[in-house]
Amino acid sequence: MVTRHGGQVSLRGATALIGAADTAVGKLPGISPTALCAEAALAAIADAGLTLDDVDGLVTCTSMAEPHMYHAQMMAEYLQITPRYCVTASAGGGTTFSVIYQAACAIAAGMCNTVVISMADSLRTGLSRDQAKIMQSSTGHAQFETPYGSTVPGYYALIANAYLHEYGATPEQFAAVAVTARNHAALNPAAEQRTPITIDDVLASRMIADPLRLLDCSLVSDGGSAVVLTRADRAKSAPHAPVYLLGAGEALSHEHISQAASLTTSAARHSGKRAFEAAGLTPSDMHFAQIYDCFTPVVLIEMEDLGFCPTGLAGEFFAAGEANLGATLPVNTHGGLLSHCHPGNPGSMFALTESIQQLRHAAGERQVQNAHLGLVHAQGGILSSHCSLVLGREETL
């Protein structure tokens, strides 16, 4: 039902995710991002028990390895459909959840009924070494950042050092985030990296941008993922238990890290607050959380900003094992960007499809017991744009 809450429209329970699918991930030579995007879309549509004829909305994100000026329109042509709602989005890793929120608004407004959101890229095999270097070094402010030669890991190293200094955190606590992700990935047959690691392994991995080491950094992958979002009344006939969008919130603090007001807090505190308020729930109600983990310290900052941990104490939470399966709040149950995969803009999609599996109670060995509610959160840029979604099973409506 669409209602107004606190001066804004609430979409609580008005739409549901009824289809989800991932392609293989990792190193996939010979498969283009376009083919991966189509593969994921078709598999998600089949998972929803639908056909292409049932789809009247399509959302994709731009591909870095195979760019197209009008990506969603190109994919519609590739799939031979003519949706009345067709959007290409690009907001970095935060793209995934922002477009879910916006597609829900489009459905609520009557612009369409059933939207496929499909994203794919081939950062591992689709870019040459020189192209990858250019991509990594072109994100900074042209006047105040790029001339100094930093890359994306360098910008996040600024954040990591600020967090260590301000809260007395330790590299071991950062490492605990990576170990937790790998513990969960070890239970996920689809994860790119499944070999268990220890705190010592993380600390012994090569330095990338001090204090961030290799295992503090997300993977570089190929892969694609898709979901199907539809009106709640249409979800009743889906072959799987529908997963309802209960609340959503977006927030932006800056674009370039040199302009950030803080390096140890983020706009996640606003996106999360808006999502929880729209859902009528609190962080303590969640049974799991999927948190954007491009680098280990980002997870600690977002956990605190989203209200799951007191400021400065998220590192202790992970070090104590409280983010593991069976503990206080399982985090990134599929392995996250650190161990499952990270194909760039589509990376968050895998956290969303994992959440759908968790709420369907179909996650196998990594299933969170009695999972009824979960939060997924993504950010784009250098801790810049944020979007949070609260999801739930039908009994939570």
* Amino acid at site 36: L
- Kindly report the length of the chain: 397
Cβ proximity of 151 and 294 under 8 Å: no
**CATH node for 1-397:** 3.40.47.10
Full pLDDT tens readout for the chain, 397 residues: 455 545 555 689 999 999 999 999 999 999 999 999 999 999 999 999 999 999 999 999 989 888 888 999 999 999 999 999 999 987 677 778 889 999 999 999 999 999 999 999 999 998 777 776 666 666 778 888 788 888 899 999 999 999 999 999 999 999 999 999 999 999 999 999 999 999 999 999 999 999 999 999 999 999 999 999 999 999 989 999 999 999 999 999 998 999 999 999 999 999 999 999 999 999 999 999 999 999 999 999 999 999 999 999 999 999 999 999 999 999 999 999 999 999 998 999 999 999 999 999 999 999 999 999 999 999 998 999 999 999 999 999 9
CA-based nearest residue to 200, from 176, 180, 222:
176
For helices 296-305 and 171-185, angle between their N-to-C axes, nearest 10 degrees: 90
CA-based nearest residue to 102, from 72, 111, 209, 382:
111
Cβ proximity of 71 and 121 under 8 Å: no
**How many C-beta neighbours within 10 Å does residue 174 have?**
29
Q: Tell me the residue ranges of DSSP E strands in the chain.
A: 3-5, 8-10, 15-22, 57-61, 85-89, 114-122, 207-209, 212-213, 222-231, 243-252, 288-291, 373-380, 385-392
Radius of gyration of the chain, Cα coordinates, nearest whole angstrom: 19
Distance, in Å, from the CA atom of 304 to the CA atom of 276, rounded to the nearest integer, reads 15
